[in-house]
Structure 1
Amino acid sequence: MTPTTPTATADKTAPGPVPGLLKLPAHIARWATLAGATGVLLSTFLAWTWTAAFPGNLTVDLYPGGLQVLALTGALLTLLFALSAQGVRGLGWLTPGGKHSPVLLLALGTAATTLYSVAAIAQKLGGLVNLEPGGWIAGIASVVLLVGALGLPADTPGDAVRPPTSPHQRLLHSFKAPTPERGPVLPSWAEILIIAAVVGAGLEVFAYGISTPYGELFIGYLLTTGFALAAITRSGLNRRLSAVTARHRNVTVAAAFIAAFIFPLTQTSEAYATLGAYILIFATVALGLNVVVGLAGLLDLGYVAFLGVGAYAAALVSGSPYSTLDVQFPFWAAVLTGIGASLVFGVVIGAPTLRLRGDYLAIVTLGFGEIFRIAMQNMDGTSGPNVTNGPNGIPNIPDLEILGFNLGEEHTILGFELGRFSNYYLLMLIFTGIVVLVFRRSDQSRIGRAWVAIREDETAARAMGINAFRLKLMAFALGATLAGMAGTVQAHVTFTVTPTQYKFVEVVPPNSAFLLAAVILGGMGTVSGPLIGAALLYLIPEKLEFMAEYQLLLFGIALVLLMRFRPEGLVADRRKQLEFHDTGQLDVPKAGLTKAGV
């Protein structure tokens, strides 16, 4: 009997390379990916259609425009990552370990953007006959790119036990988290330059998205940026950047706020500053809800009511001719009035309800949100006391004036013209900074750690001596206060306050459903997550007005897909990543459990 050598055993059990979704030879898949990306890249310098009736003017050779710019960007990134995965000198830092899943994600995004562009041209102009040679080359090259990328070998983590067999398992295996790599340690000045470059790139990407003039371009923008960010995450570059920003946290925060301050100065239209102001209002309220849901774990479905309390309180003391109080407070007094009213309502509503948990608390807060809206609608002097003018609300709210600086007038600062919405954008940026500071201080404090303990297991937290009710009431009151502060600015930005602005769900945010979605999709318990989630959820309905009938349907589909592939949110903290993904430990063989008697 010949004994089995360790080498032979290792050869039989060692996992081989995991094939891609399409069973192609590795070298053919790589070359097809490179050829497809190159073809899409070159096609953007040719005309895609013969008429300028399709937005973006895709009729000019050697000058990409509109959707061609997005296809060019996606193809260029795909080429860089594909060459990196093949070991090209100087690009290895993009895909450490020769990973192919970032290439697959970028190829999917590039192909989706290009094929969508071809389909949009055919649908708008009346058939594929309206394509010029550049459009045909783009469509064919994107199909070649997609086939080649799906045939690339999947990433093989170091802890893999056996390769998957079914196509569905192979596709999911491509996106399994590999063993994290450590990047090179750079000098401090170089890391600060990297932070500045990343923040500048983020500002450029955000400004491009907010200034897209038509819906087709915005859809292509979402496809390109979404897959590109996913590829960066899969490549591990985000972990390296996180390590750099953690070492220079103050520099990162300062750079982010400087970039946000520069945004209105870079816009040529006041309409984009308008979107920026509304996004900051929505994002600030979402960050306040993150205190309640993300830190304390209290499911609040009526949070938008606190925004309404602050807005109505500020409107009543704003000096509006339709206000029943007939008073006009200065700016700081109006803000304190809105904050105080929201704080009182938060304590009054939270005191009797926070002894409930889970679904019961969610139903009670949902009821409070509807009670607030109906109460504001009935205080018209007929169905109730004359306080809020009922369904008509409080219109003609005057603009704020701070130290003689009227925010409703145009001003010139450092040679830049700032209109009304640019002024309110900068004011909301200050309020957002205050909310971020409060959130970060609360999260890192003893109270913040107690909130997290209550969120994870309230029974265990009580057993450790934590006064759960008092701390939950503090979180509820703090979240209400932050929402009320944003509401005071919203009342002046919108000129009017009506009950219909504070429904539970509506196509146009802010409302309780979209606020909660912004927190969950962005990443609970983080600072940047709700800000990003709120920006996306506000921009999408604004930019896709031509799909108004299907917006909620598409929103539901996006929720399902994101919860399936990234349940921890777009920006997740370490705890959520460990909760929703594998820990990287080996599976225990069933034979061992059987022998142990389990």
Structure 2
Amino acid sequence: MDHSRAPLVPLPAGPARLITAVGAVLTLVSTFLAWTWTTAFPGNLTVTGYPGGLQNITLAGAALTLLHVLAGYRLRGLRWLAPAGTTAPTLLLALGTLAATWYTLGAITQQLGGLVNLEPGGWIAGAAVLLTLLGALALPADRPSSPDSPTGPWHRFRHSLTTGRPRPAAPLPSWAEILIIAAAFALGLLLFTYGVDAEYGELFVGYLLLAIAGLAALSRSGLTARLSTLTARHRNITLTAAFVAAACFPLTLTNDTYTNLATSILIFATVALGLNVVVGLAGLLDLGYVAFLGVGAYAAALVSGSPESAAGVHFPFWAAVLTGIGASLVFGVLIGAPTLRLRGDYLAIVTLGFGEIFRITMLNLNGKTGPDITNGSMGIPNIPDLEIGGFRFGDSHDVLGFTIGRFGNYYLLMLLATIAVVLVFRRAADSRIGRAWVAIREDETAATAMGINAFRLKLLAFALGAALAGLAGTVQSHVITTATPDQYQFAGTVPPNSAFLLAAVILGGMGTITGPVVGAALLYLIPNKMDFMQDYQLLLFGVALILLMRFRPEGLVADRRKQLEFHDAPLEGA
């Protein structure tokens, strides 16, 4: 008999849930014990009776796992946690808790010099999370397997992640649905703030591991689908709640440095949305898109009153914005007109060349190898802060008892710019032109045969994407007060650059609004918070690309068309 092909029979639901619950309770208890003996490891994990640092991540993961285990007993107050089934979210949360806990124990061992630095609480935590995961693996799947399905361990694990048909939600009054939407955005704001405000890299890694597992568990439990139904029903309320939550973000931070990080994320996300018009809607592979960001930044820097500017003028902000947008738009048309008759790899090579030509040109306009316009590698520094209607962005302002500093002012300005870009993208995608772009992306020959002027529409997409990048570049030049050529490369360790922008669009989800924003936030936030792993960032980035392309090629946030394109059947429980 071939034992490797023998079916793996799960434990009955009762004993498996009991094992999982016991493991989760022991994990909870372990967070109140000391994990190490010295405060040399960040977070002070030496205190008994009070969790700290990464212990809070393990505590949250164990509590969520225990709640889903109890929901499996069909307790009336907890059944809403998993309308599509409890096994898949329980397994994902147990896996995320184990990853965060074992990462913490491994970091303690590596930084302090051996397993001897672990206290009994650390050993109990490591064993308890393993027991929790084993119990979750033994739970029966929410959807019974077919008799002819594969029976190996990997197939058993994948089947455990499938969910059943979600239970219909009880009808709620409109005010209750609005409260749920508001609570969801408030919770999302708090969780995002916790990650951005993480004081050290190890805490952010633990938070990221549990957050990934938690988001996957939300999707598998069916809560994400229910929330999506509510947001679609109350679209205006949802947009208002999203704007209010984003506007409140600077008020929740304790350090203006993190507000600067959030402003940079919005700039990166706005540029990614502009690239999404070119790549996601029209299907044009542009590898030099960051050059349009640079055109907008340099154009605004030349006319914004910098003492080192060769133009010697100081336009008001609205005129500087129009200058940056107009310059990028013109360059988009000039570059697109002779090149957009190319397709595929040939277009990618040409746009890559344009990106490098722009950077080299900015270097050579230094008064020695060319006209003295951009100061060469020194760039255009000392760009003054904006002043709009007497409101100085360089000063701190008190709002409702909260102090908003310089970067908070620019964050709110960039938030308005991002909203404008989102509205433009949404209107364009839903219009007749947007549908024509999608047709060109899917099959340009068939679109042309149906009477679509492919060249004109591709040029329009190129110009619109360039204009949106110019808008972001204008604000960026004022935020960082300088414009230098080395900021606008094809690839590098610090975004924004063309490679990271393209990755943000593809990983986030091409053709969607939320996808590039999520992708940009992750690709900008992770390198900044994991600077202690700087030597391995590109390696880890490559591994993440491979895993995501293998298991979710449609991106983190994908539309229905992409899901059907990359999967033989609609995603279970998605």
Q: Could you say which TM-score interval applies, normalised by the shorter chain?
A: over 0.9
Q: Which residue of 2 aligns with 1:218?
A: 204
User: In 2, distance between residues paired with 1:463 and 1:21?
Assistant: 55
Is 1:35 the equivalent of 2:22? yes
1:244 pairs, out of 230, 253, 269, with 230
Q: Which residue of 2 aligns with 1:501?
A: 487
Aligned-partner residue type, residue 134 of structure 1 = G
The farther-off stretch of 172-181 and 295-304 is 172-181
For the residue of structure 2 that corresponds to 1:417, the secondary structure is strand
Offset, 1:132: 2.1
User: In 2, distance between residues paired with 1:139 and 1:325?
Assistant: 64
1:66 pairs, out of 39, 53, 58, with 53
Q: Which residue of 2 aligns with 1:309?
A: 295
Give per-residue Cα distances to partners, 1:393-443, cap 9 Å, x unaligned: 111111111112111111222222111111110110110110011111111
1:510 pairs, out of 491, 496, 499, with 496
User: In 1, distance between residues paired with 2:270 and 2:7?
Assistant: 43
User: In 2, distance between residues paired with 1:570 and 1:103?
Assistant: 21
Aligned-partner residue type, residue 67 of structure 2 = L
Q: Which residue of 2 aligns with 1:192?
A: 178
Offset, 1:481: 0.4
For the residue of structure 1 that corresponds to 2:32, the secondary structure is coil
Aligned-partner residue type, residue 443 of structure 1 = A
1:293 pairs, out of 279, 299, 302, with 279
Q: Which residue of 2 aligns with 1:98?
A: 85
* Conserved 8 A contact 1:320-1:326: yes
For the residue of structure 2 that corresponds to 1:93, the secondary structure is helix
For the residue of structure 1 that corresponds to 2:80, the secondary structure is coil
Q: Compared with structure 1, are the counterparts of its residues 321 and 178 closer, same or farther at alpha carbon in structure 2 (3 Å cutoff)?
A: same
- After TM superposition, the structure 1 = structure 2 runs for residues 454-465 of structure 1, keeping only pairs within 5 Å, are 454-465=440-451
User: In 2, distance between residues paired with 1:177 and 1:384?
Assistant: 64
Offset, 1:561: 1.0
Q: What root-mean-square deviation, in Å, do the aligned CA atoms of Structure 1 and Structure 2 show?
A: 1.9
User: In 2, distance between residues paired with 1:248 and 1:207?
Assistant: 25
Is 1:138 the equivalent of 2:139? no
Aligned-partner residue type, residue 546 of structure 1 = F
Aligned-partner residue type, residue 155 of structure 2 = Q
User: In 1, distance between residues paired with 2:344 and 2:166?
Assistant: 35
1:174 pairs, out of 153, 160, 184, with 160
* Conserved 8 A contact 2:69-2:86: no
User: In 2, distance between residues paired with 1:22 and 1:425?
Assistant: 54
Q: Compared with structure 1, are the counterparts of its residues 298 and 21 closer, same or farther at alpha carbon in structure 2 (3 Å cutoff)?
A: farther
- After TM superposition, the structure 1 = structure 2 runs for residues 115-514 of structure 1, keeping only pairs within 5 Å, are 115-156=102-143, 160=146, 162-176=148-162, 179=165, 182-514=168-500
User: In 2, distance between residues paired with 1:501 and 1:360?
Assistant: 25
Aligned-partner residue type, residue 40 of structure 2 = A
Aligned-partner residue type, residue 123 of structure 1 = Q
Offset, 1:564: 1.4
Offset, 1:46: 1.8
* Conserved 8 A contact 2:362-2:485: yes
* Conserved 8 A contact 1:21-1:150: no
Aligned-partner residue type, residue 255 of structure 1 = A
* Conserved 8 A contact 2:24-2:63: yes
**Gap regions ≥5 residues in structure 2:** none
Q: Which residue of 2 aligns with 1:5?
A: none
* Conserved 8 A contact 1:501-1:511: yes
Offset, 1:161: 6.6
* Conserved 8 A contact 1:37-1:79: yes
User: In 1, distance between residues paired with 2:358 and 2:167?
Assistant: 51
* Conserved 8 A contact 1:209-1:218: yes
Offset, 1:105: 0.8
Q: Compared with structure 1, are the counterparts of its residues 376 and 227 closer, same or farther at alpha carbon in structure 2 (3 Å cutoff)?
A: same
Q: Compared with structure 1, are the counterparts of its residues 22 and 144 closer, same or farther at alpha carbon in structure 2 (3 Å cutoff)?
A: farther
* Conserved 8 A contact 2:17-2:135: yes
Is 1:536 the equivalent of 2:518? no
Q: TM-score, normalised by structure 2?
A: 0.95
Give per-residue Cα distances to partners, 1:457-510, cap 9 Å, x unaligned: 222212221111111111111110000000001111111111100111111110
For the residue of structure 1 that corresponds to 2:81, the secondary structure is coil
* Conserved 8 A contact 2:12-2:140: no
Q: Which residue of 2 aligns with 1:10?
A: none
Aligned-partner residue type, residue 52 of structure 1 = T
Q: Compared with structure 1, are the counterparts of its residues 440 and 268 closer, same or farther at alpha carbon in structure 2 (3 Å cutoff)?
A: same
User: In 2, distance between residues paired with 1:321 and 1:21?
Assistant: 74
* Conserved 8 A contact 1:20-1:152: no
* Conserved 8 A contact 1:297-1:455: yes
The farther-off stretch of 423-432 and 120-129 is 120-129
User: In 2, distance between residues paired with 1:472 and 1:178?
Assistant: 43
Q: Which residue of 1 aligns with 2:36?
A: 49
Offset, 1:176: 4.6
Q: Compared with structure 1, are the counterparts of its residues 182 and 343 closer, same or farther at alpha carbon in structure 2 (3 Å cutoff)?
A: farther
Aligned-partner residue type, residue 79 of structure 1 = L
* Conserved 8 A contact 2:509-2:558: yes
Offset, 1:179: 4.7
Give per-residue Cα distances to partners, 1:519-541, cap 9 Å, x unaligned: 11111111111111111111111
Offset, 1:61: 2.4
Aligned-partner residue type, residue 74 of structure 2 = G
Q: Which residue of 2 aligns with 1:6?
A: none
Aligned-partner residue type, residue 446 of structure 2 = A
User: In 2, distance between residues paired with 1:584 and 1:321?
Assistant: 59
Aligned-partner residue type, residue 422 of structure 1 = G
User: In 1, distance between residues paired with 2:413 and 2:105?
Assistant: 42
The farther-off stretch of 452-461 and 169-178 is 169-178
User: In 1, distance between residues paired with 2:154 and 2:412?
Assistant: 48
Offset, 1:330: 0.9
Offset, 1:573: 1.2
Identity of aligned residues (%): 70
User: In 2, distance between residues paired with 1:291 and 1:177?
Assistant: 35
* Conserved 8 A contact 1:309-1:338: yes
The farther-off stretch of 468-477 and 56-65 is 56-65
1:524 pairs, out of 502, 506, 510, with 510
* Conserved 8 A contact 1:347-1:473: yes
For the residue of structure 1 that corresponds to 2:79, the secondary structure is coil
The farther-off stretch of 557-566 and 334-343 is 557-566
**Gap regions ≥5 residues in structure 1:** 1-17, 586-598
Q: Which residue of 1 aligns with 2:68?
A: 81
* Conserved 8 A contact 1:22-1:147: no
User: In 2, distance between residues paired with 1:254 and 1:500?
Assistant: 38
The farther-off stretch of 193-202 and 410-419 is 410-419
Give per-residue Cα distances to partners, 1:318-346, cap 9 Å, x unaligned: 11111111111111111100000000001
Offset, 1:140: 0.9
The farther-off stretch of 480-489 and 100-109 is 100-109
